Amino acid sequence: MMKYLSLCILLGSTGVFAATDTFSASEKAHSLAQQHVIVDGHIDVPYRLQEEWVDVTVATEGGDFDYPRAKQGGLNAPFMSIYVPASLDNSKESTVLANRLIDYVEAIVGRAPDKFALATSVADVERNVEKGLISLPMGMENGSPVQGSLDTLKHFYDRGIRYITLAHSMSNHISDSSYDLRRQWKGLSPFGKDMVKEMNKLGIMVDISHVSDAAFYQVIDITKAPVIASHSSLRKFTPGFERNMDDDMIKALAKNNGVVMINFGSTFVDAGARAWRSKMSEKKKAVEKQFGKDSEQYKSFDEAYIAKSPFPFADLNIVLDHIDHVVKLVGIEHVGIGSDYDGVGDSLPIGLKDVSTYPNLVQGLLDRGYSDSDIKKILGDNLLRVWRDVENVANAS
């Protein structure tokens, strides 16, 4: 979940952020998307509902996810992100919000038990697939709601949380963040190290998206179970962007038998889109410094800037390049998809605009020579393997 949703909404409303989806999928690609289990590691539906409630059990006008589009795309198990903003770190409200977002996921299932079902295990996902139901497993984005308590960690496990992204955009009581220049823990906090061990015992996947490089390597040293990057892309394509993973980290993740799930957002996968956003931010800060936030110049800046310099969308091919790189570097077993739908606003790449478009991804993989069995691994089997391994470690504890 990124912090420029309001900007993305503005971009969409101006019309200059729109992009035509020129990709199409063959009958075989649609068939494979329906045939294989698709697990998306990160979809921000709960926080979308927090901002404005909509009934995603039926077709919706906005957002990237609803039931008809999910069925069209072949989606079986989207991890619902229980996202807590870093601004709520060190407050009781972070825990309150996390519980409220879990309530929303339960409400979705309660509204349409013929369409959705909760899933707290790999076996649940498999049973739900057999029943024709879309599973809604849950992952917590930002461990702030744990509040330094292993009892609270157990509470969230009991409520269905099956992965935790240790930090978000700021260092918290668990881990340093890749976005935060303050590295107060130089990786994980003492509690964070204990929490990783307890997550192994409970059967909660450790998600290293968002954490600093030092925190990542400390997790790898401590964990007895494979870890995931639920919605991260590759630093090779976005040099200097620590939020993404570099090649050495990917190799360490593969040695751990984990999986990196590629984020679809244009600024995650494409250096040009990142540079555009950085340049826009710098110029906006200059306007703020010169005229102030209450000025007309500042208030109209976004729309005027975008009109002169439209956003350079990535497209499906660069997402495929990220997948290719992981496969060439460490093998087919260590890559999946973590779209960040409903979390990156309208910055999604051409060809992957919402959950109906997974067949486009399948078509791209077919065009690049991936076999049906390889595609099956990327779409879901790799994540299910990791989840099952985490369950086995917990059962053996």
pLDDT digits (tens, 9 = 90+) for 38-72: 999 999 999 999 999 999 999 999 999 999 999 99
Average pLDDT over residues 361-386: 98
pLDDT at 9 over 80: no
Whether the per-residue pLDDT at 173 is higher than 80: the answer is yes
Domain-located, residue 220: yes
**Mean of pLDDT values over 129-146:** 98
**215-247 pLDDT, tens digit each:** 999 999 999 999 999 999 999 999 999 999 999
Residue type, 152: T
Residue 262 lies in a domain: yes
| Gap between the Cα atoms of 345 and 311, Å rounded | 13
- pLDDT at residue 57, rounded to an integer: 98
Mean pLDDT of 276-305: 94
Question: Is residue 103 a part of any domain in this protein?
Answer: yes
Tell how strand 116-118 and strand 134-136 pair up: parallel
Q: Is residue 217 part of a domain?
A: yes
Q: Is residue 288 part of a domain?
A: no
Whether 259 and 226 have beta carbons less than 8 Å apart is answered as yes
Flag whether pLDDT at 4 surpasses 70: no
* Cβ-based neighbours of 267, under 8 Å, separated by 6 or more: 2, 238, 273, 274, 277, 344, 347
* The token pair that represents 52 in the structure block: 């404005």
Q: What is the mean pLDDT of residues 328-353?
A: 96
Mean pLDDT of 23-37: 96
Mean pLDDT of 366-393: 98
Q: What pLDDT sits at residue 18? A: 41
* Phi, psi angle pair for 169, to nearest 5°: -90, -5
Residue 126 is classified by DSSP as H
pLDDT score recorded for residue 15: 34
pLDDT at 22: 72
pLDDT given at position 65: 98
Q: Would you say residue 47 lies in a domain?
A: yes
With the C-alpha atoms ordered 336, 146, 341, 18, is the resulting torsion angle positive or negative?
negative
How many domains is the chain partitioned into structurally? 1
Average model confidence (pLDDT) for the chain? 94
Domain assignment present for 302 = no
Confidence of residue 290 (pLDDT cuts 50, 70, 90): very high
Retrieve residue 365's tokens.
């993989």
Domain span at residue 242 reads: 34-270+312-396
pLDDT given at position 21: 64
Is 2 a member of any domain?
Answer: no
- Output the six-digit token pair for 303: 């729309």
Rg (CA), the chain: 20
Return the closest-CA partner of residue 8 out of 277, 332, 247, 336: 277
Span 23-34, average pLDDT: 96
Q: Is 132 left (phi over 0), alpha (psi -120 to 50) or beta?
A: left
What CATH number does the domain containing 70 carry?
3.20.20.140
Q: What is the pLDDT of residue 201?
A: 98
Asked whether the predicted pLDDT for residue 6 surpasses 80, the reply is no
